[in-house]
Amino acid sequence: GENVEQHPSTLSVQEGDSAVIKCTYSDSASNYFPWYKQELGKGPQLIIDIRSNVGEKKDQRIAVTLNKTAKHFSLHITETQPEDSAVYFCAATLSGGSYIPTFGRGTSLIVHP
Amino acid sequence: DVKVTQSSRYLVKRTGEKVFLECVQDMDHENMFWYRQDPGLGLRLIYFSYDVKMKEKGDIPEGYSVSREKKERFSLILESASTNQTSMYLCASLDGSGWNEQFFGPGTRLTVL
């Protein structure tokens, strides 16, 4: 089955810096890669996603890149703000197939004011 | 506003008790999931259901069972709670296409004494 590795497990940055979280996946058939943000006391919520026919997607300060050949994808947050502090999860899914997402173990992002 | 709701935010039970965790979604989604979240281990899939009365084991089904009698409701049952089941439990739903995001509930923090 699919295996998703996520690094780092903890990331501490100063406000205004950029943050990068990286994930690798094992099943080359996976074709949908969502990123979720979990704030304290809440369930995870989708912040951005990318499909395998696209190499990059951007939404304001958040971007995701996908390298299918290397089987890795990354979340980039620019100009970080204290409200970006949360746990971030990557996932890989075979949509149209089993559609059961496989999650990374999460990254705790701390943005210091 | 779409929603996944869980019956309790916090629950304290005794070892050996039977515990029911309820989840309701209002999006008419076919697929529903129960996850367990522990520090450093990410989201681990306990059970999922792709239709009424249908269920499939996830990665860690031991000690749990589920029930889905209606499309909108998915229940997680701990037949005889044990201390190692102390955890955060998250319910999620997903539409049938698999291309879209999972919607998560706020979670239930279960403590078994």
pLDDT in tens, B33-54: 999 999 889 999 999 998 898 9
B95 versus A5: which is more confidently predicted?
A5
Contact A50/A58 with Cβ under 8 angstroms? Answer: no
In this model, does residue B100 exceed pLDDT 90? no
In chain B, which among 26-45 make CB contacts under 8 A with chain A?
31, 40-43, 45
Beta A10-14 vs A107-112: how paired, if at all? parallel
The residue of chain A with its CA nearest to that of B38 is: A105
For the four alpha carbons of A40, A45, A47 and A49, in that order, the dihedral sign comes to positive
Tens digit of pLDDT for each residue in B72-86?
999 999 999 999 999
Nearest to B104 among A45, A100, A105 (CB): A45
**B42·A89 Cβ contact <8 A:** yes
